[in-house]
Structure 1
Amino acid sequence: MKKKYTYPVVLTIAGFDGSGGAGIQGDTNTINALGCYPTSVLTALPVQNTGGVKAIHSIPPEIVALQLQTILEDIRPDAIKIGMVHTQELVAVIAAILQQYPDIPVVFDPVMVATSGHRLIEPATIDKIVSELFPLATLITPNLDEAAVLTGNAITNVAEMYRAGAMIMQKGCRHLLLKGGHLPTNELTSLLWDRQGVIVTYTSEKIMTNNMHGSGCTLSAAIAGYLALGENLSDAVSLAQQYVHRAIAEGADVAIGKGNGPLNHFFEPQQRVKKEKPRYNNEASPK
C-alpha cells in the first residue's frame, strides 16, 4: 500500500523523569494527547520523585549528538521542544546540529529550577545557553524562578515581570513567554513578547493545588504540538495555556506520590492527526 499520509511530529530534547510527570515522560504524554507523534532525545537522567531531585546522571554529549542526528535523518519533526540542557557541552552539540535546520520551529523551556525548588543547572552553563540556544529558539518559556536566574533580580509582581521580560529580550530572543504562575496572586498572568515588546497578555484563574509537577514541560511541549498542528505562535501559546489549565484542574484532586503531583495530560485525548505526506518524504535535510 502506498504511504500517503504522515503525522504531525514533535521532537522533544529533554531529561528523564522516573515519576512520570515531567521531562520526556510529561512531554510525550502531552504530544500524544494533542494528536501528534512524539520522538525524543534524552539529555540527562535525573534521579527524582514527586518530592524532588536527588541526583543527576549526565548523558555523554556525543551520545546526545548521535541520538539527535539519528532521529533527524529519519523522521523530520514539524516542531522541536527543548527542555533540560544542563551542561555547556550539551548546549554546544545541540546548537551545532539544530542550526542546520532553521525552518523547524523550536520551543525552548530553559529548565533551571524544578517545581520542588531544586537548582538543576550550573551557573557557567547559562551564558552558553543564552549565546547559542536563545538565537535558535522560536520561543523561550521561562518561569519566574528561571527569569530571576537570567536577570539576577527577584520578580514579585506583574510590573517586575515587564522589566524582567525586557531584560531577557535583550539577550537575543526572538519571542519570550514569561510565565507568572509563581506570583502570590489569585490570577495567573503570562506575557508573550517579540522584539517590539509585549504582543499578548494572557490571564487565567489560578488553581490552588500542589499537583503542578511538570507544568512547565507540559506547556512548552503543548506549544510545540500546536505549532506542529499548524497554529501560529500566539494561537499556539493560547491553546497550550488552555490545555495546561484544564490538565491541572482535572488532576488537582488526584494523589500520586507524596509531593508535587502530576497533571492529568489525558483529560480529553485527541485522535492522532493524519496529514498529507510532504514531497520531501518527511526526511529532514540540513539547510
Structure 2
Amino acid sequence: MLPRSPQQLPPIVLTFAASDPSGGAGMQADLMTLSSLGCHPLSVTTALTVQDTVGVGCVLAIDSDCVEDQARTLLEDMPVAAFKIGLLGSIENIVVIAEILADYPGLPVVLDPVLASGRGDELADEEMISGLRELLLPLTTILTPNSLEARRLAVGEERAGEGEHDEASPAPLAECAQTLLDLGCEYVLLTGTHENTARVVNDLYAQRLGLVRSDAWDRLHGSYHGSGCTLASAIAAHLARGLSIDAAVWAAQEYTWQTLAAGFRPGMGQYIPDRFYQTRLRSGALDA
C-alpha cells in the first residue's frame, strides 16, 4: 500500500494538557475525543497528576523546557491543523506555550481554562490566571469556560477586592464574556452547567457581535469528570476538519451531550463521558 499524500492525512490536532491516570479528563480525554472524531492527536504533557474520579491529590508540573521541546519537535515534523489547551501546571509553561502559539498565528486555538477540579481542588493560582489573561487569551480563537471559570477569569485578582460582585451577587455572565473578549480572544463559549437553570444553556459570544448563538441541553443525572475537556477537544477536532466556528460549536455540543448521556461510573466519584459511544452503539454494546 502506498503512503497517503498530505491531502489524505487525517486532521492533526496538538493538545497541551496534564495526564489524568483515571482516563476521565486531561490528556487522556483529549486523545480519546480527537481520535473518535477522526483526527490524529499529538500530545504535549504539561503536568503529571495523582487523581481519580473523586478528585485531584497532586499536580507535578513538567519543566517548561521539556514542554517546549515536546511541542517544537512535533511541530517541526508534522502539519498541525489546530491546538487545544487544557491544564498547564505552571506560569512557566504558560509563558512558553504562548511563545509557541505566536509562531503559528494562522491556526485555531481552543483554550479550556482548567482552574479547579470537579471536587473544587485548586489547579491554578493567581499568577497562572494572570498569565492566562495576559498571554494566552490574546492568542485564543475560542475560550470554553464554565460559569465559575468565566467569572474568575473575568474579574481577576486586581478586581476581586473591589467589592463589585460577591457570591451573593456574582458578575453577570454576559458581562464576563465581554470582558474576556476584550482581553483578546475571538470567541467565548460560556457553558452553563453550574448555573441554576432547568436546562444547561451554553452561549457563544463573538468580538464586536456579542451573543451569536445560545443552545439549551437537557440536564443529565450526576456529575461528570472531563466534560469540559471533551467539549473543547471536540471543537478543536471540528475546526481542524474545516468547520466554521458556529458549526464546530454546535457539532461539539451535540457530541459532548451524547457522550455524557452514555456516560458510566467506573469508580466511587463522578461519571466519565463515553467518547466512543458511537462505536459501542454500532457494535450493540449500548442500547440505542
TM-score by length of 2: 0.88
Contact 1:148/1:155 (CA < 8 Å) preserved in 2?
no
Query: How much does 1:131 deviate?
Result: 1.2
Separation in structure 1 between the aligned mates of residue 196 and residue 152 of structure 2, nearest angstrom = 19
- Residue 216 of structure 2: which of 198, 203, 209 is its match? 203
CA RMSD of aligned residues (A): 1.9
Alignment-derived partner of residue 93 in structure 2: 90
Contact 1:81/1:221 (CA < 8 Å) preserved in 2?
yes
- Alignment pair present for 1:62 and 2:65: yes
Q: 1:88 to 1:2 in 2, by over 3 A?
A: closer
Query: How much does 1:165 deviate?
Result: 1.4
Separation in structure 2 between the aligned mates of residue 155 and residue 106 of structure 1, nearest angstrom = 31
Q: 1:68 to 1:2 in 2, by over 3 A?
A: closer
Relative contact order (C-alpha < 8 Å, sep 6+): which is higher?
Answer: 1
Separation in structure 2 between the aligned mates of residue 20 and residue 45 of structure 1, nearest angstrom = 13
Q: 1:155 to 1:216 in 2, by over 3 A?
A: farther
| Structure that is richer in helix per residue | 2
Query: How much does 1:52 deviate?
Result: 0.4
Q: 1:42 to 1:150 in 2, by over 3 A?
A: same
Q: 1:36 to 1:167 in 2, by over 3 A?
A: same
Contact 1:83/1:109 (CA < 8 Å) preserved in 2?
yes
- Residue 267 of structure 1: which of 256, 277, 287 is its match? 277
- Residue 258 of structure 1: which of 242, 251, 268 is its match? 268
Contact 1:107/1:224 (CA < 8 Å) preserved in 2?
yes
Tell me, which stretches of 5 or more residues in structure 1 are unaligned?
A: 271-287
Query: How much does 1:136 deviate?
Result: 0.8
The residue type paired with residue 218 of structure 2 is E
1:103-147: CA deviations, max 9, x gaps?
111101111011121110011111111111111111111111211
Separation in structure 1 between the aligned mates of residue 204 and residue 169 of structure 2, nearest angstrom = 16
Question: What is the SS of the residue equivalent to 1:15?
Answer: strand
Query: How much does 1:48 deviate?
Result: 0.5
The residue type paired with residue 261 of structure 1 is Y
Query: How much does 1:77 deviate?
Result: 1.3
Q: 1:182 to 1:69 in 2, by over 3 A?
A: same
Alignment-derived partner of residue 13 in structure 2: 10
**1:180-219 matched pairs, under 5 angstroms:** 180-196=192-208, 197-210=210-223, 212-219=224-231
Alignment-derived partner of residue 224 in structure 1: 236
The residue type paired with residue 176 of structure 2 is A
- Residue 179 of structure 1: which of 191, 208, 211 is its match? 191
- Residue 111 of structure 1: which of 91, 110, 114 is its match? 114
Alignment-derived partner of residue 233 in structure 1: 245
Alignment-derived partner of residue 53 in structure 1: 56
Contact 2:94/2:132 (CA < 8 Å) preserved in 1?
yes
Q: Which runs of 4+ in 1 moved over 4 A?
A: 153-159
Contact 1:144/1:178 (CA < 8 Å) preserved in 2?
yes
Separation in structure 1 between the aligned mates of residue 170 and residue 184 of structure 2, nearest angstrom = 22
